[in-house]
Chains A and B, each alone.
Chain A
Amino acid sequence: MKQVGESVRVLALFVFLANFTAGCANVAAYERGKLAHPTMSPSDASSVARDHVYGVQEGAMGGTEGAASGCGCN
């Protein structure tokens, strides 16, 4: 039963992503000026110190840009 539940969840995820993919527009290169704006980048306003604070103070991991190591909290 647990495996069925996992399969349903995975299937739902694929359907969700497929739905988004189907909604994608074929945007020409000359139309991508807004997409290339610096504020659209994940690295804009990023801070290694802030990432580290969240890494130490939140029990969750993953879903962040880039990789780091060590915690400075041992």
Chain B
Amino acid sequence: MRTFHNLLVRVVLGVLLAAGGARAQQNPKANSGSDKPQPAEPAPAEKSSSSSSPSDTVVKTKTEFSAYTDTDSVTVFTPAVQASIENPLSGWSANGSYLVDVVSAASVDIVSTASQHWTEVRHAGTLSGTYKPGTVGGTVSGAVSSEPDYLSLSAGGTVNLELANKTANPSLSYAFTHDTAGRTGTPFSVFSQPLARHTITGSLELILDPSTLVSFSADAILESGDQTKPYRFLPLFAPDVAPLIPRGASINEVNARRLPGRIDEHLPGTRNRFAFSGRVAQRLNGSTLILSERLYADDWGLKATTTDLRFVIDVSRRVFLWTHLRGHFQSSISFWKLAYAGNVSTNGPISVPKWRTGDREESALEAGTFGAGMRFDVGTEVQPTGWSIVAQADVLTTLFNDTLFIQNREGFLGVLQLETEF
């Protein structure tokens, strides 16, 4: 296993070094981790100096091992590697990442349809490159995610600006994603559902004072294609029975009262999502406070608010502890039903709601995260961040207000990371 991950790190680094090695130049930020005033950066005109040396290039890596498990019998193991190489003075950088998700599920939705427990592996990788020689810069990026029944490809670009002596930094980005959903064991040529997604993001970062950063971003995510999950089938109830089905009804109760057979999920062919978010980061004396908020709405009727808070305390120059709190509250989509009512007869017409889903993440819910973490910089005296160990643990709880089978879900996420910088 260790050899495998060493190999992954080397592969990603090799790609990045090959992409950027010829342009390796200076490194003014090898260690920007102290509160001491930083030396003034040279004017943009000086940044293209040809006197830089390859040894000044900054290379960072992050290796992550995480495990997630919840009370709905879902477990996920995710080893991941990230690497970046950059030259802050000349303004170029390249990033790459690779991860594997090993998902094992025997959730209530699977059990309720008498399906088998399944295990699936997802591979995902990203590559990006940035060039910002002065006050204007650009980034191009691409991502691939592949699993036996799903392939996702995306590419995008970002334009960044630095205005008012870097006090106001706006950016505009666009990404196109093409997903192909299929069925395990069936070639995409036989069965596939394409989904296209256009993501447009505008953001603005502002320096309010020497210790406070504020940023805002607005996202428009426009999706078109069939998002119906091919494995998802829903129980259907007679019109006089559906209103009597209680929240959290058990599998046995649902099976006893539902109509024979099940209906497949059916979703609208487009979905337009909009999000507006803000983030405040303030460096205090020996601590850092980061608060972010996201407001979300889409044309399926789902509205949500997400608040995320992290408070970091400097225990020493090398040790940082933090708490992490997150609250997410959302309404259901407009066509969500706890129990869909319809008529299914062997001889007559079938009457079912046109739009229907069993995805409980589309229902009204409240979710909270309570977590803690620690960073231990174990590098040299000159560069403590040369090697860092980060450990994090989050407890996640979700309350479903209007769903079958379960009313709540508790999960645990543990993350262990090793970061290097040289």
Contacts and interface: CB of A to CB of B under 8 A. Distances in A.
B320 interface: yes
Given A23-B208, A70-B146, A36 B167 contact: no
A5 interface: no
A40 B330 CA distance: 28
B165 interface: yes
B177 interface: yes
Interface string B142-159: 011111011111101000
A20 B296 contact: no
A48 B64 contact: yes
A63 B277 contact: yes
A17 B202 CA distance: 13
Given A67-B141, A68-B124, A69-B143, A58 B385 contact: no
Nearest to B123: A70
A48 B296 contact: no
B24 interface: no
A55 to B, nearest CB: 10
Given A74-B149, A74-B150, A45 B38 contact: no
Contacts of A60: 273, 275, 294, 296, 302, 304, 306, 328, 330
B381 interface: no
A62 B362 CA distance: 16
Contact of A49 (B78, B156, B179, B324): B78
B288 A30 contact: no
A37 B283 contact: yes
Contacts of B99: 48
A52 B152 CA distance: 15
Interface string B22-33: 000000010011
B64 A72 contact: no
A29 B162 CA distance: 13
A69 B177 contact: yes
B224 interface: no
Contacts of A17: 204, 216
Contacts of B204: 17
Interface in A7-65: 13, 17, 20-21, 23-40, 42, 45, 47-50, 52-54, 56-63
A71 interface: yes
A59 B290 CA distance: 23
Interface of B: 29, 32-41, 64, 66, 68, 76, 78, 80, 82, 97, 99, 101, 103, 120, 122, 124, 126, 141, 143-147, 149-154, 156, 164-165, 167-168, 175, 177, 179, 181, 199, 201, 204, 206-211, 213-214, 216-217, 219, 221, 229-231, 273-277, 279, 281, 283, 288, 290, 292, 294, 296, 302, 304, 306, 310, 312, 320, 322, 324, 326, 328, 330, 333, 361-362, 365, 367, 373, 375, 385, 390, 392, 394, 396, 398, 411, 413, 415, 417
17 contacts: A24-B208, A26-B167, A34-B35, A36-B38, A37-B283, A45-B392, A47-B417, A49-B76, A50-B413, A58-B328, A60-B328, A61-B219, A67-B154, A68-B124, A70-B122, A70-B152, A72-B150
